[in-house]
Amino acid sequence: MSDETKQLKVIITIQGTKVSVGIQQTGCDPVFFKKEGTLGDILAAIPEYFLAAGQKWETSPRYPKTEVPAPPPAASAATSVNRPAAAAAPAKAKIQTPMF
């Protein structure tokens, strides 16, 4: 990929004094940095973040693909249904017949 087709994106999120910076290059996974300080402090650190991101992308531009295990084989319908146990019916009270 030529330098002309590469794009860099920088996203800065500020919450109080906590700042997150995300940098992404076309064809590469984003790299994130966290720092506390003012916007001026963060903007001064951007060149350093570009260098660090570039070094990471040279060795591993993408995170490894996740190997998803195959789903277990389908069980028979009789064993695959999980139903809550039915509440036991209350025992009927015995009616006592009067003796007198």
Tens-digit pLDDT profile for residues 47-61 = 999 999 999 999 888
End-to-end CA gap in the chain:
104
Query: What's 88's DSSP letter?
Result: P
From CA 15, how far away is CA 34, in angstroms rounded? 11
In this prediction, residue 11 carries a pLDDT of 93
Strand order in the sheet with 18-25: 8-15, 18-25, 31-36
Q: Look at residue 62 in the predicted model and tell me its pLDDT.
A: 84
The model's pTM is 0.57
How many CB atoms are located within 10 Å of the residue 32 CB? 13
Other beta carbons within 10 Å of 30 = 13
**Tell me, what DSSP letter sits at residue 54?**
H
The reported pLDDT for the residue numbered 72 is 87
Question: Which residues of the chain have a pLDDT value below 70?
Answer: 1-3, 75-94, 96-100
